[in-house]
A and B are shown apart, each in its own frame.
Chain A
Amino acid sequence: MTTELKQKISQFLDDDLNATEASHLLTELQHDNDALGALHRYTAVSQALQAKQFTLVDSDFASVVMNNLAEKPRALPVKPVLVYRRYVKFLALAASIAVLAVLLLHNFNQANSATIGQVAMQQDTTEPLNKQIDDYIHTHPTAINLAADAELDGGDNSLHPSMTAFDEEPMGQGK
């Protein structure tokens, strides 16, 4: 066991080695029982100073653990799939909400524009038409058979001329 190796052990205990250096150290420890013993004693002293109490640990403690684990080839894999699935679920939900929102907005706009269009069309067509009808009635008071209507309904017919003219008689044919 070299002094350099022991210094590496000391550095390892103080987290002064990165993972690669630590891995190299472990490789060396596996072939050097004296160095492994030094690691055990250094860690024991460190723990004793921190805990103000010395606890004896078997030198083969770690090897017993690793032998037990030899039955299992490797650690359970990290579950990137689960994380991925969680994100997929989230994204799918967000996408669904977005699509739903777009569809609703689209339908709402369509309904609104249709209604507005219809109203506009009605306004565009009916108002001038009514005006034309009224004008027509005023200029051609005998063109519509008010008397016949009055007999059929038996009431006040002040509004009927325009209604009758609008529903039944195409413009211009009454002349």
Chain B
Amino acid sequence: MKTSNKIIEQVDEQLVALAQQGDKQAYNLLVLKYQHKIIHLVNRYINDASEAQDIAQDTFIKAYRDLGNFRGDARFYTWLYRIAINTTKNYLVSRYKKNIADAISDEDAEIYAANQQWQTFNTPEQQVLNQEILDAIYLAIELLPEDMRMAITLREFEGMSYEEIAQIMKCPSGTVRSRIFRAREAIDNKIKPLLDHREF
């Protein structure tokens, strides 16, 4: 896992360095890469999907404007994560004018994020639709050939790099790259019709 994290750091560092020099394309890539994680994080505390996205966008805007102060002491995502938590806290304080934000400590947020079990605040209809898509994803994975299922599982659930998966599966990393891509394509073919109905 260390190898994988090191690669992530290197790519992110390069993108951050470019963004710090004013390369907005590089920052756009970082937004595309982490938007789902940040929205998911904010969505744990905000009882409205639309507001959660606004706060997540505000997080990325704040992060960009403060990018000059990012010194690389921590990973970019860790730094972004803290900005997201603080932005959410500030929103809750201004919105409800009470100390509800105190209930969210960084430590708690880390634990919740690690467990990934917190209930997202969505309307019942949204929750049903989201669950429907999640079920479709799991079903698509079950229907995958064994080698593709194993590759995508090790990548998504275990966070392993291509090289690590290649060692486990005893095949070249190029084969792993291909298997993961084909697995994603198969899943995408299943969920795309569902998402198209939701203007995704």
Contact = CB atoms under 8 A, between A and B. Distances in A.
A148 interface: no
Contacts of B61: 65, 68-69
B101 interface: no
Given A42-B188, A45-B187, A45-B191, A53 B40 contact: yes
B57 A64 contact: yes
A54 B177 contact: no
Given A53-B116, A59-B199, A77 B20 contact: yes
Nearest to B54: A64
Contacts of A143: none
Interface stretch (B62-70, B83-91, B102-110): B62-70
B154 to A, nearest CB: 11
A118 interface: no
Nearest to A42: B184
Given A26-B25, A69-B24, A61 B35 contact: yes
Q: Give the interface size class of chain B.
A: 35 or more
Interface stretch (A4-12, A93-101, A103-111, A166-174): A4-12
Contacts of A68: 57, 61
B162 A16 contact: yes
Nearest to A78: B20
Contacts, number: 178
A79 interface: yes
B4 interface: yes
Interface string B140-181: 000000000000000111000110000000000000011011
Nearest to A63: B28
A2 interface: no
B36 A76 contact: no
B26 to A, nearest CB: 7
A69 B26 CA distance: 13
B111 interface: no
A44 B134 CA distance: 10
A14 B28 CA distance: 17
A77 B43 CA distance: 31
A56 B156 CA distance: 18
Contact of A45 (B21, B137, B157): B137
A6 B157 CA distance: 21
Contacts of B69: 76, 79
Interface of B: 4, 7-8, 10-11, 14-15, 18-29, 31-33, 35-37, 39-40, 43, 49, 53, 56-57, 60-61, 64-69, 116-117, 120, 126, 129-131, 133-134, 137, 155-157, 161-162, 177-178, 180-181, 184-185, 187-188, 191-192, 195, 198-200
Given A55-B120, A65-B57, 4 more contacts: A10-B177, A10-B180, A66-B24, A78-B68
